[in-house]
């Protein structure tokens, strides 16, 4: 197991490893937001400056830059863990 003790150590990891770590952190963030349905998007926007919809837009934009067209509702379903309309009816206050 490698030991990362400084930012320089982290930056020295192979790019593929850095990408894997970032992807895993993103998946964990998405999972966390799917579990925390009590946290409203407006709360996220107020406190953090982004929300679930922002994440879905960022996801779509990254796909687009790689030549992949992801429909808005598909990206939202990926982030929300269910169709957006269903999430709104179940969890949006």
What confidence score (pLDDT) does residue 3 get?
87
| 39-77 per-residue burial string, b: 16 or more CB within 10 A, e: under 16 | eebeebeeeeeebbbebbbebbeeeeeeeeebeeeebbb
What confidence score (pLDDT) does residue 1 get?
77
pLDDT tens-place string over residues 46-56: 999 999 999 99
Which stretches does DSSP call E strand in 10-90?
A: none
**pTM for the model:** 0.86
Q: What does the domain layout of the chain look like in residue ranges? A: 7-91
Q: What is the mean pLDDT of residues 76-93?
A: 95
Tell me what the pLDDT averaged over the chain comes to.
95
Q: What is the mean pLDDT of residues 53-69?
A: 96
81: left (phi over 0), alpha (psi -120 to 50) or beta: left
Which position has the token pair 């939202």? 76
Per CATH, the homologous superfamily of domain 7-91 is SMc04008-like (1.10.3340.10)
């Amino acid at each position: 197991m490698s030991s990362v003790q400084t930012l320089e150590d982290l930056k020295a990891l192979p790019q593929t490893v850095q990408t894997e770590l970032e992807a895993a952190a993103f998946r964990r963030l998405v999972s966390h937001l799917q579990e925390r349905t009590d946290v409203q998007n407006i709360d996220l926007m107020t406190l953090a400056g982004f929300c679930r919809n922002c994440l879905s837009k960022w996801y779509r934009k990254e796909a687009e830059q790689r030549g992949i067209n992801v429909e808005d509702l598909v990206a939202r379903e990926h982030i929300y863990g269910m169709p957006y309309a269903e999430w709104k009816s179940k969890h949006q206050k």
